[in-house]
Amino acid sequence: MKLIETDIVIIGAGPVGLFTVFEAGLLGLNCHLIDNLDKVGGQCIELYPEKPIYDIPGVANQTGKEHIDALLKQIKPFDYEVHLNQRVNEISEFEDSWKLKTSEGQEFKTKNIFIAAGAGSFEPRKPPVMNPDKFLGKGTNYAVKDKSIYKDKEVAIFGGGDSALDWSVELAKITKKIYLIHRRDEFRGAQHTEKKMRELVEEGNIILKVPYVIKEIKGDKSFTGVDLLHFETKEIETIKCDESIFFFGLNKQLGPIHDWGVALENNKILVNTENFETDKSGIFAVGDINHYPGKLDLILCGFHETTLAVQEAFKRINPGERVPFGYTTSNKGLQEKLKVNK
């Protein structure tokens, strides 16, 4: 594969990675994004595409998918490319720059690396049964990516946290029948959501099955339901249903970040607060992956961090030049880059 040279390589195509493209574009810098998922959007798309986000400045209510769609629209005028289904395995010094190599063998040369990998690599905790992914996407799932597929169906939801409660309440509006299955009659989610769930149980709109755990996923050629094991009596009960969703939480892994040579603390990358650079010159960490005193894991904080980091990236590419600054409301040069008058 041909070596790709670019101003900035962004590892992670979630909200902060995408906004990095915007800030870089305003300064005339080009970017390549790399993500091991099969689509852009990070956690917003993979974990909560239809859950509302309430703390984006100026946006009262926006789902995870709507937020990513808005960011993609915002960066549309700029020069960037996305490389999906591959992760960065190696980072090494190369001449006066950095070289990266992905799991697909693609190599990049850049002055600036932005690690915007969220909380690292996420994998859902799978049910402790034989071949749990046999019907993945065809009867079993670990997230709700499109709630319309559950309309008028019988659905079994497993779990005791926020996701299980939230989606039990939400999907009860459109499903034919919904089961909420948990190993005990105690939940770890928000109290107001649990209260609403129990009201729906009283009304007959949710069937609460406690204390039960998954015993087996049923079906030969297609998904037909689940076997439940009573946590106390050990009796087995079969539930016939069309779909099942397992909210057993996520396993968080840093993956190859451990091998990149940047300083870590509690599985987070240490950065300064002037430009959010790591202890390696030219390697920045922005968003949930970084750590510094007072750090908050909020999308809006990541936007602030990457805005300042991109200023430093410009200086590294253009030593001695003043970083251009202007307001998008009045600067004609920025408006031309944004193509707002076209």
If pLDDT is split at 50, 70 and 90, which confidence band does 342 have?
low
**CA separation for the pair 182, 194 (Å, rounded):** 13
Q: Is the pLDDT of residue 123 over 80?
A: no
- Give per-residue pLDDT as tens, 51-81: 899 999 999 999 999 999 999 999 999 989 9
Instruction: Please report which helix (H) or strand (E) contains residue 274, including its range.
Output: none
Class of domain 126-248: alpha beta
User: 127 is written with which tokens?
Assistant: 């049910």
Comparing CA positions, the residue from 256, 311, 313, 315 lying closest to residue 289 is 256
pLDDT of residue 320 exceeding 80, the answer is: yes
What is residue 135's predicted lDDT score, i.e. its pLDDT?
Answer: 96
Residue 185 CA to residue 212 CA, distance in Å, equals: 10
Residue where the block lists tokens 């091998």: 259
- Given this chain, do its domains 4-122+251-338 and 126-248 carry the same CATH topology? yes
CATH class of 4-122+251-338: alpha beta
The mean-pLDDT minimum among 35-44, 51-60, 204-213, 223-232 falls in 35-44
- Of 169-173, 175-179, 208-212, 252-256, the range with the lowest mean pLDDT is 252-256
All structural domains of the chain with their residue ranges: 4-122+251-338, 126-248
Helix axes 64-75, 15-26, angle to 10 degrees: 20
> CA 295, CA 6: separation in Å to the nearest integer?
30
DSSP symbols for 178-205:
EEEE-SSS---S-HHHHHHHHHHHHTTS
Which tens digit of pLDDT belongs to each residue from 257-306? 988 999 999 889 999 999 999 999 999 999 999 999 999 999 999 999 99
User: Quick one: average pLDDT of 237-251?
Assistant: 92
Pair 70, 62: CB distance under 8 Å: yes
Structure tokens of 132?
Answer: 């749990």
